[in-house]
Amino acid sequence: MIPALTIENLSKVYSDGFEALKGISLEVQQGDFFALLGPNGAGKSTTIGIICSLVAKSGGRVSVFDADIDKDFPAAKKHLGIVPQEFNFNMFEKGIDIVVNQAGYYGLPPRLALQRAEKYLKELGMWDKRDVPSRMLSGGMKRRLMIARALVHEPRLLILDEPTAGVDIEMRRSMWDFLKRINAEGTTIILTTHYLEEAEALCRHIAIINQGKIVENTSIKHLLRQLHKEVFIFDCVEKLPDTVVIDGFTVRLMDAHTLEIEVEKGQYINQVFSALDTLGIHISSMRNRANRLEEMFVNLVEGTA
Amino acid sequence: MTRQEQYVAFMTIVRKEIKRYMRIWTQTLLPSAITMSLYFVIFGSLIGSRIGEMGGFSYMQFVVPGLIMMAIITNSYSNVVASFFGSKFSHSVEELLVSPTPNYVILMGYVVGGVSRGMLVAVVVTIVSLFFTELHIHSYFVVVLIVVMTATLFSLAGFINAVYANSFDDISIVPTFILTPLIYLGGVFYSMDLLPEFWANVSRLNPLVYVVNAFRYGVLGVSDVSLPFALGMIALFTVVAFAFSMHLLNSGKRLRQ
């Protein structure tokens, strides 16, 4: 099967000499939900900019569904839908006009453009706001408008650059559901995000980019298996003694009713429960200290810094 | 993109442009009507009646073609420069740049938008001028040809200005310091016969001289320069401006990083 996106040895040096990409290579398969993670300035937006032609590459090769951007960029662009990080529409135009015009730029006749605009604005809960000038929309609505605009020509590959930045939790969840659904229907999705929880919840594969290089490119499951330890927080029913010791585990007393315990790779959480039971400590609830992926991300990024 | 898809993209840009300037008609169409009315009253009626004939016509009849052309030039130029720079400033130009629309379709869409505003304003100003004088068109063909060619040329010039502009100040520098002086010195208000030989020759370096005189020929049948030469010059400037605009779009200069 042809990959949805192939990047080979891609490099970018800006006019001020800054080397944003140092020969990255990447392949995203059709139907995948792919996360591109990295700290600010790592090269994520530059990569997306090159794929969609807003940034000129310095070297390397990019092809979208086998259409090389150097040989047939229009064919590659037809397969692409882009949701950029910054709002990039005319703030004086109505939402419906923005989406219909975008369809026109892809050659969709007006009647079909209007049908598609209605379909996607309705699916994203924006139909009631279609005649509102875009500057009057909330941040979350503007993001959804950009998603509708990117989908109006029904691209096979949708790229979202931080789609849920500044969006409230409820709206973020509804956007996740929508993205999961269109992915299940066959649209390949690549997203960059700062919310690692988002990548873990949505994506099957992940690439971590740092200082213009890919430092990890694997499945989320595989990445999480590499974690050497996890930290759990236990909320205890009774007041805890001044010290709690469990052989083989690092235990920290957070407050009179809370314990933090590190579980290393190869250890079992059952051992912790048994030890706590022996000590007469009763647990009312338990949770992860932090997002597991976040820990992995920090380790990888710090390892390459 | 197929030809049909390119046509759809082109019409989308043209429709968007027309919708834009019609939405803000008090800023785009009305000012020319008011300004030209004042020119007609002051230069045509009040001062013109004391000047007498020029080039064999009343002064009012003499200045009307130049003033109509002035409105076409400023409107076609400012439409494209404001619209394209505005889309660059708001980054909404990216909607077009990420799409498969070919660059020449993008350019033609914006240019036709500018030409349509230039022609619409020309109609408005011509109607206003009929309240002050009678107009007998010498050659409709020449009038339409010159209007379309001039509006195209200055729409392209506006596009080039928009690509290079970094701020809204930059889009007013060219109209204020270059375009307006060239229009005033392009024979709108006087015949070049009135100038000493040296200054008449200097004036021939001004491209607006050819535009104004060719249009005056179409309306009144008189011109300070030969019509074929004037048409040739306008066509030459248009081809150069189009080629340079395409170069800017293809190279992505100031549009892509």
Question: What are the beta bridge partners of residue A80?
Answer: A157
Sign of the torsion formed by the C-alpha atoms of B211, B214, B218 and B219? positive
In this prediction, residue A292 carries a pLDDT of 61
Give the span between the Cα atoms of B83 and B81, in whole angstroms: 6
Report pLDDT for B15: 95
CA–CA distance, B118 with B105 (Å, rounded to integer): 20
What lies within 8 Å, CB to CB, of B58 at 6+ separation is B48, B133
Assigned CATH topology for domain A5-224: Rossmann fold (3.40.50)
Cβ atoms B222, B56 nearer than 8 A: yes
Identity of the residue in B6, B97, B100 whose CB atom sits nearest the CB atom of A78? B100
Q: How far is B104 from chain A (nearest CA, A)?
A: 13
Of the listed ranges A132-136, A149-153, A244-248, the least confidently predicted one is A244-248
Indicate the domain borders of chain B: 3-251
Does the distance separating the beta carbons of B95 and A101 come in below 8 Å?
Answer: yes
Q: Where are the domains of chain A?
A: 5-224, 228-304
More confidently predicted of A230 and A57:
A57
CB-CB contact of B116 with B11 (8 Å): no
Give me the pLDDT at residue A38, please: 84
How far is residue B203's CA from residue A136's CA, in Å, rounded to a whole number?
Answer: 51
pLDDT in tens, B55-71: 778 888 888 888 899 89
Cβ contact B8–A89 (<8 Å):
no
For residue A305, is pLDDT > 70? no
Mean pLDDT computed over A66-95:
89
Does residue A49 contact residue A29 with C-beta atoms inside 8 Å? no
CATH topology of A5-224 equal to that of A228-304?
Answer: no
Of B49 and A201, which is predicted with more confidence?
A: A201
Cα A248 from Cα A267, distance rounded (Å)? 9
User: How far is B75 from A226, CA to CA, in rounded Å?
Assistant: 65
B31 vs B203, which has greater pLDDT? Answer: B31
Contact in structure between B207 and B233 (CB atoms under 8 Å) = yes
Let me know: does B75 contact B123? Beta carbons within 8 Å.
no
Neighbour tally for A12: CB within 10 Å:
24
Residue B58: in which H helix or E strand, if any? strand B57-58
In the predicted structure, residue B193 carries a pLDDT above the cut 80:
no
The complex's ipTM works out to 0.86
Give the pair of three-digit tokens for residue A79.
């397969």
- B100–A75 CB contact, under 8 Å: yes
Tokens of B171: 């889009």
pLDDT in tens, A252-295: 888 888 988 888 877 888 888 888 888 888 888 988 775 566 66
Tens of pLDDT, residue by residue over B114-126, are 999 999 999 999 9
Higher pLDDT, B10 or B230: B10
Give the model's pLDDT for residue A303.
Answer: 62
Band of pLDDT at residue A63, cut at 50, 70 and 90: very high
Interface residue B108 vs chain A (CB under 8 A): no
A107–B90 CB contact, under 8 Å: no
A228-304 carries CATH number 3.30.70.1560: yes
Average pLDDT of A229-250? 85
A86, A105, A108 ranked by CB distance to B95: nearest: A105
Contact status, residue A34 vs residue A203, Cβ threshold 8 Å: yes
Place of tokens 């992940």: A206
Give per-residue pLDDT as tens, B225-255: 888 988 998 999 999 999 999 999 998 878 7
Which chain B residue's Cα is nearest to A75?
B100
What's B132-159 look like in SS3?
CCCCCCCCHHHHHHHHHHHHHHHHHHHH
% of chain A surpassing 70 pLDDT: 93
